Amino acid sequence: MAAAPNDPYSDVPTLDPSRKAAEHLNDLIDDAGEIEDMVIVDEKLRAHAEALRERAREEEELEAQIAESIVPVDEVRTGASVLEIAEDRDTVRLLIFTKNVALRQLGSLAQRRLVDLGKVFAEIHVIILNQKSAEETVPAVRLTDNIWLYSTESKKWWRTGFDAYRIANEQLNFAGGFRADVIIAEDPFESGMAAYYVAEKYNRPFQVHILEDIYEPTFKEREEHNGLRLWLAKRVFKHTDCVRTNSDYLRSHIVKDHPDLEPHIEVLPIYHNLEAWRDMTPTTNLRERYPQYKFIILHVSGMNARSHTREVLQGVAPILRTYKTVGLVVIGNGPYRSALEKMAIALGVATQVQFEPVPDEVISHMKSANVFVHLSDDPIEDTLVLEAAAVKIPMIASEESIAGTLFVDNESAFICKAADAACVSYRIRSYLNDNQARSRLAMNAQEVVFERIEQDYNAFLHAYRDSVERCIVMDN
């Protein structure tokens, strides 16, 4: 029937039941799809949640295993001595703070020694307190399977300790707790303060190794900040659990200033690696650096009162004025350096005396020089005499040093009194005029040190480890 004119509902479509049913069915299908999607998502969420729970269980089991494998420090302190364990004692993990940048130099003696120590410790982590130049970047290095090197990149010297502390917290604190069992500082200054705060935070034994003479009268003047460093040392000594030195001389001084440390201080075992010194490939050649010299005299100096560098200059000067192709290379830093440079000018030999800073190692210099002069009466410098003998360079040495004990004058070395400039001059002329004497004395000196200096390297490594481990079981 046609719609009536002006019918307001004339545009409304006629109701079709089948169409309505189809639309309802489509709505149900759409709803079912959405419900199915929700179910799938929910199942995925449940599966993901279960995976997370499983991972958490695995991590808990792993942490439990790690915790079981680590002997708590408190338990070690109160339990049986580590040194009494007969088998598999190489379980201690070390964290060492040091300023020895030579550890980063591939193949250096310091690095080789560290690698050897890795054979008797479970892990060694070394943080090198490095003051970098603006463009320098020093990455962390895994040196061997169980040795890691980290370096600070501090723009100021006083920042090195803070940056070392930060690196220790970032790199050694992970699953199972703090990684190191013993904290070692190789100086009582910036390294000592950083090591102390790390040991305090993680309740670890803390020991300080004193490897240089901080009691030498001119030590404070050697570097700009040494006065403040000595103040830091006093604080570090108050908080350390034990101290290790490299000489009885240093031990006696520390005991005198800190008598409470006497039961906790030992002298580290010393090993002079004669074979490594003898076989080391030189990294520096003085002959190439100073081609104007046909004969090079080498002198390594602490540039202080005990070095007797003044007498060396006085003894050598007449020879330098006579022979323009003879040169003297003086290696060292110290309070007397400026005065010694002025003395070379006053003696009229400044153009033939070359002053160089202390390198990472001096063996390369010894291997490319003709004669080594060493008048120091400081026992800390005795190693220089042994190095010279090992690399077979003829020497003039002080009778007050280890040379006076090991060598016979005119058989294995020329021996002079520490302050005898005339003896130095006379003996250098002897070397200049007699090539056979240079070869004979150098060869005999090498034979003497290889015969008389202990060469059981394994015994040294284990003695070093034992000394470190004793700090764990000390009753502080």
Rounded distance between C-alpha atoms, residue 189 and residue 226, angstroms: 9
Is 5 within the bounds of a domain?
no
Q: Which amino acid is at 98?
A: T
Q: Do residues 283 and 165 share a domain?
A: no
Q: Do residues 308 and 323 share a domain?
A: yes
Residues 6+ away with beta carbon under 8 Å from 260: none
Question: Tens digit of pLDDT for each residue in 148-199?
Answer: 999 998 888 889 999 999 999 999 987 678 989 999 999 999 999 999 999 9
Question: Tens digit of pLDDT for each residue in 206-238?
Answer: 999 998 888 877 788 778 899 999 999 999 999
Rounded distance between C-alpha atoms, residue 201 and residue 107, angstroms: 35
Q: What value does the mean pLDDT of the chain take?
A: 83
Q: Tokens 């193949």 — which residue?
A: 107
Closest-CA residue to 331 (of 305, 307, 351, 314):
307
Q: CA Rg, the chain, in Å?
A: 35
Q: Do residues 199 and 285 share a domain?
A: no
Rounded distance between C-alpha atoms, residue 370 and residue 328, angstroms: 10
Closest-CA residue to 59 (of 175, 172, 170):
175
Rounded distance between C-alpha atoms, residue 234 and residue 371, angstroms: 41
Q: Do residues 325 and 366 share a domain?
A: yes
3-state class (DSSP) for residue 127: strand
Q: Do residues 204 and 258 share a domain?
A: yes
Element housing 365 (H / E): helix 363-367
Q: Do residues 355 and 379 share a domain?
A: yes
Least confident of 18-22, 111-115, 460-464: 18-22
Q: Do residues 399 and 427 share a domain?
A: yes
CATH of the domain at 467: 3.40.50.2000
Rounded distance between C-alpha atoms, residue 63 and residue 180, angstroms: 16
Is 440 within the bounds of a domain?
yes
Rounded distance between C-alpha atoms, residue 46 and residue 50, angstroms: 6
Q: Which amino acid is at 257?
A: D
Question: Tens digit of pLDDT for each residue in 382-435?
Answer: 899 999 999 999 999 999 999 999 999 999 999 999 899 999 999 999 999 888
Beta strand pairing call for 173-174 and 141-144? unpaired
Is 414 within the bounds of a domain?
yes
pLDDT value at residue 89 = 38
Average pLDDT over every residue of 306-310 = 94
Is 93 within the bounds of a domain?
yes
Is 67 within the bounds of a domain?
no
Q: Do residues 255 and 314 share a domain?
A: no
Question: Tens digit of pLDDT for each residue in 33-64?
Answer: 554 555 454 565 566 566 656 655 655 554 45
Q: What total of structural domains would you count in the chain?
A: 2
Q: Please report, for residues 18, 237, 251, 262, the alpha-carbon distance to residue 257 in angstroms, rounded to integers and kept in the order given.
A: 107, 10, 10, 10
User: What's the domain range around 313?
Assistant: 276-452
Rounded distance between C-alpha atoms, residue 243 and residue 261, angstroms: 8
Q: Do residues 288 and 158 share a domain?
A: no
Q: Please report, for residues 2, 4, 13, the alpha-carbon distance to residue 9 in angstroms, rounded to integers and kept in the order given.
A: 12, 10, 9
Residue 71 has pLDDT above 90, yes or no: no
pLDDT value at residue 416 = 96
Q: Do residues 331 and 359 share a domain?
A: yes
Q: Do residues 291 and 344 share a domain?
A: yes
Is 141 within the bounds of a domain?
yes
Residue 325 has pLDDT above 90, yes or no: yes
Q: Do residues 340 and 258 share a domain?
A: no
Is 284 within the bounds of a domain?
yes
Rounded distance between C-alpha atoms, residue 132 and residue 126, angstroms: 17
Q: What percent of the chain lies above the pLDDT cut of 70? A: 79
Residue 76 has pLDDT above 80, yes or no: no
Is 7 within the bounds of a domain?
no
